[in-house]
Amino acid sequence: MGNEQHDSGSATYHEILSQPAAWQQALALVNQEGGALRALWQAGQFAEVIFTGCGSTYYLSVAAAALFQQLTGTRAKGAPAGELVLNPELYYAQGGAVLLVAVSRSGSTTETVHAVNAFRKARRGTVITVSNYGDRPLSTLGAVNIAITAGQEESVAQTRSFASMYVATTALAVLLAEEPALLQQMEQVPALGERLLTQYGTLAQEFGSNLALDRFYFLGSGIRYGLACEVNLKMKEMTLTHSEPFHFLEFRHGPISMVGASAAVIAMLSQSNRGDEEAVLHDVRQLGGQVLTIGEEKVDVAFGSGLAEAIRSVLYLPVPQLIAYHRAIAKGLNPDRPNNLNAVVTLDWSARG
């Protein structure tokens, strides 16, 4: 694969490379719960859908909400679970039932569990949970609980877990949008992920190991913005490198002033707005920035999937994850155990009831 495994990051490395199997399980579980999910959706008459999580799963929620609204036409948004607890009036509209989709790798994150309990106590609507553990508190709280055990991880930074849960929320959106042809197409996604990991392993190693680069910017618009936020977080966590995510057109409004020969811009190119996105990258190249493009075709990392744009977004994740892994190794860091982080954040919120 053009990758070299290092003992200090062996868990992360294995989790990145093995993730397509977890994607497959995610698809199977959503299909298995299809009847229950459709019945819940039809009976709920939901005014809006809120996806929630913390850290990586908050970014997943941003991405999932954008896709859900695009496919179903129902208003949807992503919210940090802590904000649903501290400032619920800013997120819950007055009147109308809400579908809350709570996402947590561990199923034990304090803010997420507390947000769901508060939501249930207030009788705001219905809960669906998505996690990687079926025996944790969160997985007892939903009307439907999806636990993708193949996404479980030893490492702190989420890679396989994030992608598996994102595949599940993508399949959920497709299912509730009543797009059976798209759901069937999604069965091809795991094999495409395997090919990307094999084909672009050397590129990821070379790009990630280039320590002449000292800052990274991840660009993604529309349904890809939450994913740009997530791979940016991987770069921060694993490599302790200056890294920021932006929508494509927003990048010109200030951040582009940071671009020079030591800046890397990793761009998640779309099909629908590619012309405008390429124009931003032209400006970056004029300033000497190093650009890596990811997308369906005529890019540095090409999916070549032939799939509908709405269902292939998980394919943007594996190569940037590998780039972060290789940069951590090149800097002498252990990507399995990033600075100052724990795999699960638990707080003493017992007094909140």
**What is the mean pLDDT of each successive set of 10 residues along the chain, which is 353 residues long?**
59 97 98 98 96 98 98 98 97 92 96 97 97 97 98 95 98 98 98 98 98 98 98 96 98 97 98 97 98 98 98 98 97 83 58 55
Helices 56-72 and 225-239, packing angle to 10 deg: 170
Q: 232-288 pLDDT, tens per residue?
A: 999 999 999 999 999 999 999 999 999 999 999 999 999 999 999 999 999 999 999
40 and 175 housed in the same domain: yes
Residue span of the structural domain in which 109 resides: 7-188+340-352
Dist. CA 238–CA 251, nearest whole Å: 24
In a domain, 180, yes or no: yes
101 and 150 housed in the same domain: yes
In a domain, 1, yes or no: no
93 and 162 housed in the same domain: yes
196 and 180 housed in the same domain: no
Dist. CA 80–CA 98, nearest whole Å: 16
Torsion of CA 287, 288, 293, 299, to 10 degrees: 100
Dist. CA 67–CA 169, nearest whole Å: 9
163 and 209 housed in the same domain: no
119 and 179 housed in the same domain: yes
In a domain, 2, yes or no: no
In a domain, 35, yes or no: yes
**Amino acid making up residue 258:** M
Please tell me whether residue 166 adopts helix, strand or coil conformation: helix
105 and 207 housed in the same domain: no
pLDDT of residue 95: 83
Into how many domains does the chain fold?
2
211 and 326 housed in the same domain: yes
Buried b (16+ CB within 10 A) or exposed e, 262-277: ebbbbbbbbeeebeeb
Q: How far apart, in Å, do the first and last CA atoms of the chain sit? A: 51
Dist. CA 315–CA 9, nearest whole Å: 22
91 and 155 housed in the same domain: yes
Q: What is the CATH number of the domain that holds 221?
A: 3.40.50.10490
17 and 156 housed in the same domain: yes
243 and 285 housed in the same domain: yes
In a domain, 62, yes or no: yes
44 and 70 housed in the same domain: yes
pLDDT of residue 6: 56
pLDDT of residue 1: 44
